[in-house]
Structures are given as C-alpha cells and as structure tokens.
Amino acid sequence: MKSKWNPVSVGSFVIGAIILITLGLIYFKSLSLFHKPLRFVSYFDQSVQGLSVGSDIKMRGVLVGSIVSLHVYYDWNKNKSAIAVIGELNNNALIDDSGQKIDMNNSLNLEHLIRNGLRAEIDLLGITGMQYVQLAFFDPKKQSTNDLSGNSPYIVIPTVDSGVSKFTDNLFTITENFSKVDMAGISNDLKALLASLNKKTEELDLRKITIQVSSAAEAIKQLAQFIEQNPSSLIFGRKPAPKKR
C-alpha cells in the first residue's frame, strides 16, 4: 500500500512554516537575537543603597531602560573603587527634533549623545528610599566625570554628583553631630531648671500666704481693740459716723 504523504510536499510545508514563523518573529520584534538591547556601564563613586537589578533608568521622568547588573569595581592601578552599574536602554526610546526615533541599538548614536553631555546620576524615588538612574544632559566642559573606565565591553556613560549623594552626606553629618550631643547632661540641666522653678513657685506661694495671714491677724487685732474700747457695739452695733454739716 502506497503512503499518502509525499516527502517533497511535507518538506516544502515544513520549510514554508519555518520561514513564516521566522518572518513573524522578526515583524513583532520578539526575536532577541536581532533586537538585543544596547548595554552601558556607569561608575558611581557613592553609595547606591536602594538601587537593585531591575531598577528604572529614566530621562526626565520617562522610562528609557533598566538596571541589569551591579557590582563593586576596583582599579588596581589607581587604587580606587566604584560601583559599576550596567544598564540596558530601550530601543527607540528617544526621538530627535525632526520626530525621528533614535536607534539606541546603534552604539554610534549613544557615543554621540555622550559627547554632547549625556551623563548618569543617582536619584531618589520620593520618600521610599528606592533609587534609580537618571540620564540627563550637562555641559561636557563644565561637568567633571569619573575617571574610571574599567575593561568593560560596554560603552561608559560618565557620572555626575547628584543631589542624593549630597543629601545623604549632610544627613550623615547631622546624625554624627547629633550623636555627640550630651543628652544626659541636657536632661540633668532641664531637671535642675524645673526644680528651681518649682522651688521659686513654692516660695512665692508661701510668701503670699504669709502676707494674707499677717493681714488677717492685723485685722483681728484692730477688731479686738475696737471691741475693748466700745463693748456696747456687740449689742447695738457700731455707731454710724456723724454726718458732716
């Protein structure tokens, strides 16, 4: 009995299916082999606590990528260490003044942006303590950059000092100075001051009571003298003062 399947037809069907699937993957940009995001590295000479793998990379608040790796980099020659932050940029996240999308998979485009002042800095996400990488443009002539370059295969986006690092440094200084304050001494001084105030208050009250008692005693003395001189006043009362003519 002859087979109903023709090998040539089956092979043609399989090849055609493979071609259609491949074209479909390319069309929907789901084949990572052809659409691998461009990676970069930035070396931060500061604490990156709150930054982790998956943290956002933003430009003026717009999401343009994410962090894929974090590690401490040490330069033997310069005896310096820094935090190497490796990130991926989304393709076509930027557009130029003509409305055309900038291909961020093209390393030449990223290098051009860096020459024009593109820099990376750490920023704080509200009051959550979480951090993210902010990309912004600065004057490349005025902004100092980290001189670490490493042997990374990725393009280096220079970094700038951010307000977060300054805020953290100031907070650390305040905390350190606060820890030096003699809280026990202040507490003792405050207790002594309150005790002194209480004592003075008690003295004022006692003086007031003494004055009142003295006034009452004087009044009783005067009343006794009047009764002694005018005993009939107990029966008839005090005579009214004579009317002036």
Pick from 25-29, 64-68, 200-204, 236-240: least confident: 25-29
User: Do residues 13 and 20 make contact, with C-beta atoms less than 8 angstroms apart?
Assistant: no
Of 176, 200, 215, the residue at which a domain comes to its end is 176
Q: How far apart are CA 89 and CA 13, in angstroms?
A: 39
- Scanning the structure block, which residue is given the tokens 């659409």? 35
Residue 244 lies in a domain: no
CB atoms within 10 A of CB 87: 25
How many helices (H) and strands (E) the chain has is answered by 5, 9
Q: How far apart are CA 45 and CA 53, in angstroms?
A: 18
Q: How far apart are CA 105 and CA 37, in angstroms?
A: 6
Domain tally for the chain? 2
Q: What share of the chain is helix, strand, coil (3-state, %, to 5)?
A: 40, 25, 35
Look up the pTM and report it. 0.54
Residue 133 has what pLDDT? 93
Do 227 and 166 fall within a single domain? Answer: no
Q: Using the predicted structure, report yes or no on whether residue 77 has a pLDDT greater than 70.
A: yes
Residue 87 has what pLDDT? 95
Mean pLDDT, to the nearest integer, of 34-50?
A: 82
User: Do residues 104 and 38 make contact, with C-beta atoms less than 8 angstroms apart?
Assistant: yes
Do 106 and 55 fall within a single domain? Answer: yes
Do 56 and 149 fall within a single domain? Answer: yes
DSSP state of 154: S
Residue 243 has what pLDDT? 59
Q: Using the predicted structure, report yes or no on whether residue 233 has a pLDDT greater than 90.
A: no
Do 121 and 88 fall within a single domain? Answer: yes
Q: How far apart are CA 57 and CA 69, in angstroms?
A: 13
DSSP-derived pairing of the beta strands 80-89 and 94-95: unpaired
Do 60 and 128 fall within a single domain? Answer: yes
Task: Quote the Cα angle for 219-225-229, to 5°.
Answer: 145
Please give the backbone phi and psi of residue 86, each rounded to the nearest 5 degrees, phi first.
-105, 130
Which pLDDT tens digit goes with each residue over 149-183? 667 789 999 988 876 555 555 554 555 665 666 66
Residue 7 lies in a domain: no
Mean pLDDT, to the nearest integer, of 93-121?
A: 87
- Give me the domain span that covers residue 193: 183-236
Of 139, 161, 176, the residue at which a domain comes to its end is 176
Q: Which residue has the higher pLDDT, 168 or 226?
A: 226
Helix (H, G, I), strand (E, B), or coil: what is residue 82?
Answer: strand
Residue 2 lies in a domain: no
Do 51 and 159 fall within a single domain? Answer: yes
Residue 31 has what pLDDT? 45
Q: Using the predicted structure, report yes or no on whether residue 46 has a pLDDT greater than 90.
A: no
Helix (H, G, I), strand (E, B), or coil: what is residue 72?
Answer: strand
